[in-house]
Structure 1
Amino acid sequence: MIVLETLKPVLRAAAISAIAVGVLLLLLNPPSLSGAGGLAAILVVSIALILLGAWLTVALIGRDAMPESEVDRLVERSERLARLPAPDREPTEFDLLVADAIDRLPPEFRKLLETTPVVVSRHGEEFRAYGHYYGGSLIHGDREHRIVIYQDTLERDFGFDPDVLSAQVERVLRHELAHHLGWGERGVRGLGL
């Protein structure tokens, strides 16, 4: 079983390489019925490229992927930290915009946020997003819920006008809250969010 675990990254890389090489060869040199010699050459080159691609992929990514138990431990720690109160600091103007957006929600939606933290982050550029919802929906409540509002991308794109920024913060909050209620991306966009 341990041998299989060690070979998983190599086999995964080989499969990805095989697909990539196969598609590339089909596009560059469509098969013809010119003889067995041409077909044998294509197979030999394909196998060599697959093995080279697998070796390069494993070399670049690394053999030691983080074990799932370690990922679970880190997620659990992150969720535990997210439930802790924020360190003592004065709220920023952006924090106040988010608080105002929460206050403008209908009471039944504000009640949902009593058990769902809304976190302000400056890492939106990494995700190319204004916000994210983490967790299952209320219907499938098997994971910790959290809404993240990305200050950096919102201020970058809407910070030119405080009213526009405030409206967009509220829109993003409502969008992520709709995900919390179980709406998929298509359904949320259909709501105009």
Structure 2
Amino acid sequence: MLETLRPILRAAAIAAFTVGTLLWLLNPPSLSGAGGLLAIVVGALALLLLGAWVTVAMIGGESMSEAEVERLVRRSEELARRPPPDRAPTEFDELVADAIDRLPQEFQDVLRTVPIVISHHGSEFRAYGHYYGGSIVHGDREHRIVLYQDTIERDFGRDPELLRAQVERTLRHEVAHHLGWGERGVRGLGL
């Protein structure tokens, strides 16, 4: 509950501070009368409450419940596990499938519940792949492996053998993260 109200209260406090400061600068209170100071404090509080009310009114009806967000995340993960129904697998999809098939059977079994997503946003991250989630030991978060087709093909696409090898290496690198290895340990494995 506090997390929901924090941005609202922060915005209201900033608005109240700004207006209060402007009022104080335009009409500084005199030490002889507390009426002016009281008017500024009351005005600032009124603006604070008005700002909070407007903020809540603007975003109050638009937010989704936590259960609805969880449902959308589960549905997205389920769809990510499947190829789109209206397109045939691409050559890159086949390279990824072959790389999975070349993994030891124990690793293939571990990956049955981990979606492997092919993305074209690698240049944003300057990466060939990412692993999202906790390790297999600390399975408290949703797991997902993302392979970035754009950066892998950009750097290795001129040579089919290099491309195949990099897809396999990137997949193994991300699987190692899933199994609990940190970046230094994964690089120590040569991945």
TM-score range, shorter chain: 0.5 to 0.7
Matched with 1:168 is: 166
Note the C-alpha offset of 1:72. Answer: 5.7
Alignment of 1:5 with 2:3, yes or no, is no
Q: 1:105 to 1:83 in 2, by over 3 A?
A: closer
Note the C-alpha offset of 1:74. Answer: 5.3
Which region of structure 1 is more displaced relative to structure 2, 109-118 or 82-91?
82-91
1:102-181 paired onto structure 2 within 5 Å = 102-181=100-179
Q: 1:10 to 1:106 in 2, by over 3 A?
A: farther
Q: 1:10 to 1:78 in 2, by over 3 A?
A: farther
Note the C-alpha offset of 1:81. Answer: 3.2
Alignment of 1:96 with 2:98, yes or no, is no
Q: SS state of the match for residue 182, structure 1?
A: coil
- Asked if structure 1 preserves the Cα contact closer than 8 Å seen for 2:116 and 2:146, the reply is yes
Describe the superposition over 1:49-93 as per-residue Cα deviations: whole angstroms up to 9, x where unpaired: xxxxxxxxxxxxxxx8x8995876654453343345532421111
In structure 1, runs of 5+ residues without a counterpart are 13-63
The sequence identity of aligned pairs, in percent, is: 70
CA distance in 1 between counterparts of 2:166 and 2:175 reads 14
> If you compute each CA radius of gyration, which structure gives the higher value, 1 or 2?
2
CA distance in 2 between counterparts of 1:11 and 1:159 reads 54
Q: 1:9 to 1:137 in 2, by over 3 A?
A: farther
CA distance in 2 between counterparts of 1:10 and 1:128 reads 39
CA distance in 2 between counterparts of 1:5 and 1:155 reads 42
Letter paired with 1:99: A
CA distance in 2 between counterparts of 1:179 and 1:68 reads 32
Q: If the length of structure 2 is used for normalisation, what is the TM-score?
A: 0.63
Q: If the length of structure 1 is used for normalisation, what is the TM-score?
A: 0.63
Equivalent pairs, count: 142
Letter paired with 2:164: S
In structure 2, runs of 5+ residues without a counterpart are 15-58
